[in-house]
Structure formats: structure tokens, C-alpha cells
Amino acid sequence: MKELTELFDWIDRDQGGTSDRLNANCLQLKSVCSPLSCRSFPVMMDPTPAVVSAQWLADAIQNKLVGPKLRILDGSWYLPKSKRDTREEFNQKHIPGASFFNIDECCDQSSPYDHMLPTPSDFSRYVSDLGIGNDTHVVVYDTSDFGSFSAPRVWWMFRVFGHSSVSVLDGGFKHWVADGHPVTSDYTKPEKRDFQASLNQSWVKSYEDVLQNIKTKQVQVVDARSGGRFRGTDPEPRGDIQSGHFLRAPRTTTCCRLPATSPGMSVTSASGTTPTSSSTTPATSARTPRPVCGGRSGCSDTARCRCWTGASRTGSLTVTR
């Protein structure tokens, strides 16, 4: 928790404030957030926490709160080499009341590239069919052994389309099962609602934007893939992609991949060290105030970092498309 406290202190100083102002605008969300977000640790004021605990969701299900105002989504997705059928896994068992969010379907089907953002109208239609409206609190999880892998991608999609009432389930499905919470194979399609998406363009950079940035160097571009893929020593999962990285794209470690038991968090810099007040600072430094994540699938690793560190509340990261 020391590292996280220092991170938030640094973020507040970088935004031109003080730790006193940060504390004055924070709220302890002990009843709804994950264990790592509490423990006398300030979370900045936000109508919806970026992370909710398994116990919070279990209580909501038991109290029959799942419905138009609360929807649960299984956003599981894996690389083809894993040979996992996420739809079939959902059909076999999922959190009661959950619906399946298919990342392969909710994307720009006309693009030659994988998982490019759909249009606002297509996103609106897709999530409306899942029973989600603009006043719905959405909780997303996935079935990854890491506790969270693709769910933050879905979280980011809702945020980029103007929906802030969305949270990631702490520890994901693995944590849920380990805690003894119920699962089911039953599924009832939710009644359709009306969701109106509004694209927040500041959260997305185009190919042209990133190409121009190679010249202007106005933003820091971060590559959130594995080290081997970044260096070009490991093959890309898709054969039509050249190995390596583009100019001025430093790699960041997977700084916030939380284990399913969620005992705490490690925040590391690109060199793999833990930031302290006297060492390296997070990517959102005064020199590079708005890091841009490069990733063909929407960069779940960096989106996950936003969820766990609270950076989602600073507006300090944009994802390339």
C-alpha cells in the first residue's frame, strides 16, 4: 500500500494540487471497493468505483439487485492459441445473472484489424440488447487465471463511450469461485433497454495521431505487450504482424496484474523497479503528461493498471486504435 499511496500523492502533485487537497476530495468506499483500495487508503471521489469486491457483488445478487440498474457481464477473451471457447465456458458456468459480452462481436467488423472500436451506434445496439441503459451500473469480470485479463478492455470500452458507471470485479471469476460464491448454467436474456453511446475522443488516438507524434513527441507512447514481443524475439500471436515495436515506444511492465487472491498490488516502472518518492515516477510524469498505450486489441494490461491504481480518475491515459 505504501507504493500506491506514493503514486496517488505523486499524481496529485503533478495535477497542480497537494496531498491535502487530494485527501479533502477523497472518500473511503469500504463497502463497495476491493480490499486493496481501502485500508486507510484514499480513493478519489467518483460515483462508481473502478473495482468492486466479490462480496459486494454477492450481496447485490442475494438482495436481488441485478436488473435494469445493475448488470453483470462476462467479458472473457483469450488469444486463439489458448484454444478456449469462452462462450461455451459461459454456458457451462457463470456468475448468476451475468450475460456474455463478446469482444469478437462488439468491434468494427469492417476493419481488417482485430477488435477496433465499433461505432457509437453499433456499441449502443449491442449493449442495449444486454439490458443495459445509461443509468445501469455494469460490473465486468473474466475467467482468466490471472484474476483479470480482458475485463478491463470491456471496462475501457464503456468508459470511452461515455459510460462511467462501470466496474471490474476484483479477482475475477477465479476469485469468485475460490470464495465459495455461487455459479450457474442458467441464463435468461435481459429485457432490451436503450443505451445511447457518446464517444470520448480524448481516450482514443488514431494511427495518424501516433504517426504524427513520432515527429512532435507531444505524448509518451507505451507498449504494454510482453517483453519478448516488444523486442521482437517472440513471435506475434497473429502471423500477419511484424515483430518488434515502432519508434519511441518504451515498454512498460504489466504493473498491476492482480492475482486472484488480491493480497495487494505491485506498481513497477518500465525498468521493473518499484517507484518511491526518490526513484522513478509513473508514466504520467510532468515530461509526458498523457501516455498513450499501443496495443492492437485495446491494451488490456494498461487498462487494468488504470482500474487498480485509480488512474482512471485522472484522465491521464489514451489508447490507440
Classify residue 78: in a domain, yes or no. yes
**What integer pLDDT is reported at residue 159 of this predicted model?**
94
**What integer pLDDT is reported at residue 41 of this predicted model?**
31
pLDDT > 60? residue 315: no
Classify residue 140: in a domain, yes or no. yes
Classify residue 16: in a domain, yes or no. no
* Residues spanned by the domain of 98: 47-199
Please state the φ and ψ torsions of residue 133, each to the nearest 5 degrees.
-115, 180
CATH number at residue 104: 3.40.250.10
Q: What is the C-alpha to C-alpha distance for residues 255 and 111, in angstroms, rounded to an integer? A: 30
**What integer pLDDT is reported at residue 125 of this predicted model?**
96
Classify residue 236: in a domain, yes or no. no
pLDDT > 50? residue 232: yes
| Cell numbers for 210 | 501516433
Which of 84-88, 201-205, 219-223, 308-312 shows the lowest per-residue confidence on average (mean pLDDT)?
Answer: 308-312
pLDDT > 70? residue 70: yes
Classify residue 35: in a domain, yes or no. no
Closest to 167 measured CA to CA, from 312, 35, 66, 264: 312
Higher local confidence (pLDDT), 190 or 32? 190
Which of 8-12, 269-273, 303-307 shows the lowest per-residue confidence on average (mean pLDDT)?
Answer: 269-273
User: Would you say 282 and 10 are in contact if contact means Cβ atoms under 8 Å apart?
Assistant: yes
Q: What is the pLDDT of residues 243-296, one digit of tens each?
A: 777 766 555 544 333 333 333 332 222 233 333 333 323 333 333 344 444 443
Classify residue 21: in a domain, yes or no. no
pLDDT > 60? residue 84: yes
| Cell numbers for 133 | 441503459
**What integer pLDDT is reported at residue 249 of this predicted model?**
58
Segment 68-85 mean pLDDT:
86
Helical pair 300-309 and 151-160, crossing angle rounded to 10 deg: 80
Within its chain, how far is the Cα of 242 from the centroid?
26
Considering its fold, how many domains does the chain have in total?
1
Q: Is 133 helix (H, G, I), strand (E, B) or coil?
A: coil
Instruction: Indicate the pLDDT class of residue 229, thresholds 50, 70 and 90.
Output: confident
| Cell numbers for 54 | 466479490
Task: Look up the pTM and report it.
Answer: 0.67
pLDDT > 50? residue 170: yes
Classify residue 110: in a domain, yes or no. yes
Segment 55-72 mean pLDDT:
96
**Measured between alpha carbons, how far is residue 119 from residues 67, 109, 180 in Å?**
26, 10, 39
Q: What is the pLDDT of residues 44-62, one digit of tens each?
A: 345 788 899 999 999 999 9
Q: What is the C-alpha to C-alpha distance for residues 196 and 127, in angstroms, rounded to an integer? A: 9
Q: Is 75 helix (H, G, I), strand (E, B) or coil?
A: coil
User: Would you say 176 and 169 are in contact if contact means Cβ atoms under 8 Å apart?
Assistant: yes
User: Would you say 148 and 172 are in contact if contact means Cβ atoms under 8 Å apart?
Assistant: yes
**What integer pLDDT is reported at residue 293 of this predicted model?**
46
Classify residue 19: in a domain, yes or no. no
Segment 79-89 mean pLDDT:
80
